[in-house]
Structure 1
Amino acid sequence: MTDITTERATAAASGAAATEQFRTRQGAGTADVDTKRVDTLVTELLSAAHDIIRRHKVTYAEYDALKAWLIRVGEDGEWPLFLDVWIEHVVEDVAAENREGSKGTIEGPYYVPGAPALDARATLPMREDERGTGLLFQGQVTSVSGAPLAGATLEIWQADADGYYSQFAPDLPEWNLRGTVSVDDEGRFGIHTVEPAPYQIPTDGSCGRLIAAAGWHAWRPAHLHLKVAAPGHQPVTTQLYFKGGSHVADDIASAVKPELILEPGLAANGKDREVTYAFVLDRA
């Protein structure tokens, strides 16, 4: 992975880290590809682009600007960011259209496999002076039939109170606010963490230039990322948001769904917050 511990949290550094993570997870090989499927998808994609050019009378100046921007996206290492922010939510909708259990949403570019293993009742790895309101995130993992899934695991990762992810910004411990939680015999878990902050996707690179040119905002609402899995069941990748939070209604990544909005209440200590959430997994 790109060493960004001595760099600023720039789009280029973040993009390089995201690209390297994706390449590592994909491995050296590629899946078998049906040539007819490739022909259909690529032909329709190009036809849609041709139609846009004709309908909007795209000029050579605009075409050259697009070409230069596409080249720069690759140079900045921002293809994972671009695809995850503006494309992935539709792919996820199609992939999950027949699912009966919990709703999922995009993974995003900041997932890192291999987070530290934690017990069912655990505190995420964090700095001694980690800022933010304490949060107890608890619940249960069951099957669609309601049976507890004792063998389930929850991978959880999140931004800190400044909106930064460990391994994608400087000066953060490697596994800060990341963990892999194994549920108990009743499928239950209780995770102590801090509430994350909303954040802007990096705006000093190519994606930022697109946002500025289109007059969009770059904000994502505060959220917890989770991957929930159990033997014999379909895994779910999701994000959970906070009711009333900034940009829940206008997420730049279009990833918010009503079923994914949490409503934490005040914890017994009168200072922190807590919330209970159920994950329901379909049979594989």
Structure 2
Amino acid sequence: MTTTHESPSAADSGASASESFKASLERRGSAASSSERVATVVTGILKGIHDAIRANDVTYPEFQAAKAWLISVGEGGEWPLFMDVFVEHVVEEVAAQNQKGSKGTIEGPYYLPDQIRLPSTATLTMREDEAGTPLVFQGQVRDIAGDPLAGAEVDIWHADNAGYYSGFAAHVPTGNLRGVIVTDDRGRFEITTVQPAPYQIPHDGPTGALIEAAGWHPWRPAHLHLMIRAEGHRTITTQLYFAGGEYLESDIADATKPELILDPTPEDDGTARVRYDFELEPA
């Protein structure tokens, strides 16, 4: 069984995720919605809540406990964590219905923009004694017609061998295991990094209290996060998992897909090597 470790505290991660999300809104902008659209969506959400209350005979003490929990999620800065773990996969599923190209999945709360840009063949920034199985991840970025996309960006980030993300754990150096690789004139890339570990989402706060009360587990399988960009094409945000890994069938975020499973080949020097190509549709 893989050795796994706890993630940073919910308070620390919540604060970092909230600040990162607010910064991303400024960068990406917020989509405007008509009052009719807002009314439709909010009415649907409220109807789902009302139906659940009626179907499960929710009591006043349970209602008050839910109110207290909602307040604690806000005070702890855990809304990005909660929404990304329990809600985002359905939003992504709806968005993917009319999309072509490579499979996507959730972004999650640990993305940080403006990371170091690296050439098509590169090693991610890491500590000299970075633990973990060396991993060489290579592939090609193409359009849906099969033509290579030169100068595409492969924005990659992932946890380390102990389940920690840089920017969300004080002891991990800034920018560790993050980078933006720019593909060559044939759309190719080769990234040297280390294989990440499964990790528990921060669970010492209100999100963790809900998970414990429901009898669920807080684990995510090991994965690489990727955001693939090319001018004139729809950006793909995805995660790639590892064959045989723990929690693939019980991911707390429900974000795994069969098309996103890597099966690295071990080499004589202990390095694992794997290839995965991406296809982007026109924007």
With structure 1 as the length reference, what TM-score do the two structures score? 0.95
Cα distance in 1 between the residues matched to 2:55 and 2:270 = 57
Cα distance in 1 between the residues matched to 2:149 and 2:40 = 40
Tell me the secondary structure at the aligned position of residue 137 of structure 2: strand
Cα distance in 2 between the residues matched to 1:100 and 1:44 = 28
Q: Structure 1 residue runs of 4+, over 2 Å off?
A: 28-33
In structure 2, the CA distance between the partners of 1:215 and 1:153, relative to structure 1 (3 Å rule), is same
Matching of residues 22-37 of structure 1 within 5 Å: 22-27=21-26, 30-37=30-37
Equivalent in the alignment of 1:210: 210
Alignment partner of 1:80 is 2:80: yes
Equivalent in the alignment of 1:256: 256
Cα distance in 2 between the residues matched to 1:242 and 1:125 = 22
Equivalent in the alignment of 1:163: 163
Equivalent in the alignment of 1:188: 188
Cα distance in 2 between the residues matched to 1:52 and 1:109 = 27
CA drift of 1:9 comes to 2.5
Matching of residues 1-284 of structure 1 within 5 Å: 9-27=8-26, 30-267=30-267, 269-284=268-283
Tell me the secondary structure at the aligned position of residue 97 of structure 1: helix
CA drift of 1:32 comes to 2.3
With structure 2 as the length reference, what TM-score do the two structures score? 0.95
Tell me the secondary structure at the aligned position of residue 277 of structure 2: strand
Q: Percent identity?
A: 58
Moved more, 92-101 or 139-148: 92-101
Deviations 1:53-90 (A, max 9, x none): 11111100100010000000001110000000000001
Tell me the secondary structure at the aligned position of residue 212 of structure 2: helix
Cα distance in 2 between the residues matched to 1:31 and 1:90 = 18
Which ranges in structure 2 are unaligned for 5 or more consecutive residues?
1-6
Deviations 1:118-143 (A, max 9, x none): 00000000000000000000000001
Which ranges in structure 1 are unaligned for 5 or more consecutive residues?
1-7
Equivalent in the alignment of 1:5: none
CA drift of 1:266 comes to 1.4
Cα distance in 2 between the residues matched to 1:250 and 1:57 = 28
CA drift of 1:30 comes to 4.3
Q: Which amino acid aligns with 1:12?
A: A
Tell me the secondary structure at the aligned position of residue 75 of structure 2: helix
Deviations 1:30-58 (A, max 9, x none): 44221000001111111111111111111
Q: Which amino acid aligns with 1:259?
A: E
Deviations 1:75-128 (A, max 9, x none): 111000000000000101111112221000000000000010000000000000
Equivalent in the alignment of 2:4: none
CA drift of 1:270 comes to 3.1
Number of residue pairs aligned between Structure 1 and Structure 2: 276
Q: Which amino acid aligns with 1:194?
A: V
Q: Which amino acid aligns with 2:26?
A: G
Q: Which amino acid aligns with 2:97?
A: E
Tell me the secondary structure at the aligned position of residue 154 of structure 2: strand
Cα distance in 1 between the residues matched to 2:48 and 2:195 = 42
Q: Which amino acid aligns with 2:213?
A: A
Cα distance in 2 between the residues matched to 1:32 and 1:99 = 21
Cα distance in 1 between the residues matched to 2:201 and 2:76 = 14
CA drift of 1:171 comes to 1.2
Q: Which amino acid aligns with 1:274?
A: R
CA drift of 1:151 comes to 2.3
